[in-house]
């Protein structure tokens, strides 16, 4: 069988996922469930950073952000050394790493560097030229195998146990055989058959990554913009090689977090990393905590960005308020959030005509959700006015103002009275 036909056969085989459970992952409701990612571009994490990062259940090893043009970081060597140092402090910590389906970002791995000199393994347009924003050609054997080689080096040889796949911005290869046309950035365009092979090849490569390299206790997290990624939303999670997703820009968005909670309720375990954009600002990060907790379920973890350097605007420079919130006692949820009538969905026409449909909210109706946790911690979010609060059971508060300037914990105190 030729490579394109073999790739298509593998992609369309429809076999179920390796994992039916994520019980191998460290997860606890004792405190706010958390993951950590940051990078020290100048070299390995120092002792201070290692001591801090090792306390977290999951660490996402990021490639360096800066390097001289044309050089290579050889992160497949550096990351396992860093992971070993962290595991020496916390043997249970999961060690994941960042990788992408394109070569737009800084090249940090040996196989990325190799690809620059091999246009025959890059996606090419109708004229046979490599597309300007370089992309692996998953429709070719060399493109797919070289892409998998980095994960082989880091997981099989380097003993890392999870991969965060990036590059799906507006691109879903699981939704039809032309789901990722946007990766062809050439003005000349790419022919349809090339893109069909590319999409099918990417799907097949992701399944191989999960089955052959990560295996039963390795974790594949698939990032997507703008919301959580579940492969083809019309199909069950068992037909998706991803064990979980990243919420790239949600920052605790109720619909995003609750959609993953619903999958866990009805289909089985599915992880999510809630990424908080611009959370190098402490106020933004603290605000997202209440919104995350209103709907979070097992195997959902909270973290921040766009502060990636550990010692600068990443995790080692957080305020006392952030550290207190991450350490405060939580406990498992006592149930789903309570919500007022104003939280019910309404039709789009209601924004123009409040009487167009019975679903339209009555004048003055508001949306408030609250949720209780086992230690006595309570969470309150006023989605209409914009304020919120976490009343931690140790007596500390995490609060943010609403649009009227009212403190969220003052409003929460009256709400729970």
* pLDDT of res. 363: 85
* Domain-ending residue, one of 264, 296, 327: 327
Residues 348 and 343: their CA atoms lie apart, in Å, by 14
5 burial type by CB count under 10 A (0-12 exposed, 13-18 middle, 19+ buried): exposed
Residue 7: per-residue pLDDT: 45
Q: What angle do CA 334, 370, 349 make, to 5 degrees?
A: 125
Q: What is the dihedral of CA 92, 160, 316, 101, to 10 degrees?
A: -140
Residues 100 and 146 in one domain: yes
Tens digits of residue pLDDT in 174-205? 988 888 988 999 999 999 999 999 999 999 99
In a domain, 332, yes or no: no
Together in a domain, 164 and 219: yes
Other Cβ atoms less than 10 A from the Cβ of 400: the count is: 21
Query: Residue 227: inside a domain, yes or no?
Result: yes
Residue 378, H or E segment? strand 378-382
Place of tokens 């990078």: 39
Contact between 377 and 395 under an 8 Å Cβ cutoff? The reply is no
Helices (H), 90-213: 110-116, 141-151, 192-208
CA distance 288 to 281: 11
Do 290 and 221 belong together in one domain?
A: yes
The CATH number of the domain holding residue 20 is 3.20.20.60
| pLDDT for position 327 | 95
Higher pLDDT: 116 or 122? It is: 122
Closest CA to 243 of 174, 162, 339: 162
First to last CA, the chain: 70
343, 211: one domain:
no
**Domain final position from 294, 327, 360:** 327
Residue 306 scores a pLDDT above 80: no
Q: Which domain-ending residue is among 327, 359, 391?
A: 327
Of the given ranges (72-81, 119-128, 178-187), which has the lowest mean pLDDT? 72-81
Closest to 269 (Cα-Cα) out of 16, 20, 48, 6: 20
219-254 pLDDT tens trace:
999 998 888 999 999 999 999 999 999 998 888 999
Q: How many CA atoms lie within 13 A of 271 on its CB side?
A: 32
- Ranges of H-type helices in 100-191: 110-116, 141-151
pLDDT band at 90 (very low <50, low <70, confident <90, very high): very high
Is it the case that residue 67 has pLDDT exceeding 90?
no
The answer to whether residues 226 and 169 touch, using CB atoms and an 8 Å cutoff, is: no
The domain tally of the chain equals: 2
Radius of gyration of the chain, Cα coordinates, nearest whole angstrom: 23
- 401 vs 389: CA distance, rounded Å: 9
- The predicted-structure confidence for 337-359, as pLDDT tens digits, reads as follows 999 999 999 898 998 898 899 99
Which tokens hold the place of 76? 């497949």
pLDDT at site 127: 97
- Domain of residue 71: give its range: 3-327
Please state, in angstroms and rounded to a whole number, the distance separating the CA atoms of residues 416 and 391. 10
User: What pLDDT is recorded for position 313?
Assistant: 60
Residue 314 token pair: 């990443």
Give the separation between CA 9 and CA 228, rounded to whole angstroms.
27
Percent helix, percent strand, percent coil in the chain, to nearest 5: 35, 20, 50
Range in 61-75, 156-170, 264-278, 290-304 the model is least confident about: 61-75
The larger pLDDT score, comparing residue 7 to residue 128, is at: 128
What's the pLDDT score for residue 106? 61
Contact between residue 229 and residue 174 where contact means Cβ atoms under 8 Å apart: no
Structure tokens at 400: 């943010």
**211 within a domain of the structure (yes/no):** yes
State the DSSP code for 213: I
Mean pLDDT of the chain: 89
44 in the same domain as 105: yes
Q: Same domain, yes or no, for 259 and 365?
A: no
Output phi, psi for 210, to 5 deg.
Answer: -70, -50
Kindly list the distances between the CA atom of residue 155 and the CA atoms of 84, 95, 152, 213, in Å, as whole numbers in the listed order.
13, 10, 5, 7
Average pLDDT over residues 134-143: 94
- Residue 368 in any domain: the answer is yes
Would you say residue 185 lies in a domain? yes
Query: Which long-range contacts (C-beta less than 8 Å, at least 24 apart) are formed by 48-55?
Result: 48/311, 48/316, 49/310, 49/311, 49/316, 50/85, 50/86, 50/89, 51/89, 52/315, 52/316, 53/86, 53/310, 53/315, 54/86, 54/89, 54/90, 54/93, 55/90
pLDDT given for residue 1 in this prediction? 40
pLDDT above 50 (res 11): no
Asked whether residue 357 falls in the same domain as residue 322, the answer is no
Of the pLDDT bands very low, low, confident and very high (cuts 50, 70, 90), residue 39 is confident
Same domain assignment for residues 258 and 283: yes
CB-CB neighbours of 50 under 10 Å: 17
Judge whether 42 lies within some domain.
yes
Q: Which residue has the higher pLDDT, 360 or 4?
A: 360
Bridge partners, 333 (sequence order): 373
pLDDT score at 225: 83
């Amino acid at each position: 069988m030729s490579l394109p036909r073999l790739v298509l056969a593998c992609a369309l085989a429809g076999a179920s996922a390796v994992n039916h459970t994520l019980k191998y992952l460290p997860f606890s409701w004792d405190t706010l469930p958390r993951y950590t990612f940051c990078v020290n571009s100048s070299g390995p994490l120092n002792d201070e950073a290692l001591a801090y990062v090792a306390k977290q259940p999951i660490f996402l090893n990021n490639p360096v952000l800066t390097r001289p043009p044309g050089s290579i970081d050889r992160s497949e060597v550096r990351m396992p050394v860093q992971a070993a140092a962290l595991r020496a402090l916390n043997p249970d910590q999961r060690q994941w790493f960042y990788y992408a389906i394109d070569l737009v970002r800084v090249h940090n791995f040996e196989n990325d560097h190799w690809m620059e000199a091999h246009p025959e393994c890059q996606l090419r347009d109708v004229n046979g030229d490599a597309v300007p924003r370089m992309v692996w050609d998953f429709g070719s054997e060399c493109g797919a195998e070289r892409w998998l080689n980095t994960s082989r080096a880091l997981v099989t040889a380097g003993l890392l146990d999870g991969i965060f796949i990036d590059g799906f911005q507006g691109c879903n290869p699981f939704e039809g055989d032309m789901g990722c046309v946007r990766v062809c950035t050439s003005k000349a365009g790419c022919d349809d058959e090339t893109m069909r092979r590319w999409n099918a090849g990417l799907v097949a490569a992701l399944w191989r990554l999960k089955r052959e390299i990560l295996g039963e206790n390795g974790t594949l997290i698939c990032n997507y913009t703008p919301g959580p990624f579940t492969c083809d939303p019309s199909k069950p999670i068992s037909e998706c090689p991803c064990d979980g997703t990243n919420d790239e820009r949600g920052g605790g968005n109720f619909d995003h977090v609750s959609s993953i909670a619903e999958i866990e309720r009805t289909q089985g375990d599915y992880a999510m990393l809630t990424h908080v954009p611009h959370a190098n600002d402490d106020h933004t990060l603290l605000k997202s905590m209440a919104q995350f907790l209103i709907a979070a379920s097992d195997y959902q973890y909270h973290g921040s960005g766009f502060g990636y350097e550990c010692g600068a605007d990443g995790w080692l420079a957080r305020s006392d308020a952030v550290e207190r919130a991450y350490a405060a006692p939580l406990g498992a949820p006592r149930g789903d959030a309570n919500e007022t009538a104003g939280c019910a969905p309404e039709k789009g026409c209601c924004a123009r005509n409040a009487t167009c449909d019975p679903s339209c909210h009555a004048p003055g109706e508001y949306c408030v959700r609250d949720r209780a946790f086992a230690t006595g911690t309570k969470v309150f979010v006023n989605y209409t006015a914009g304020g919120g609060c976490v009343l931690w059971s140790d007596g500390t508060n995490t609060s943010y103002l609403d649009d009227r300037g009212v403190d969220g914990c003052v409003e929460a105190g009256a709400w729970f009275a």
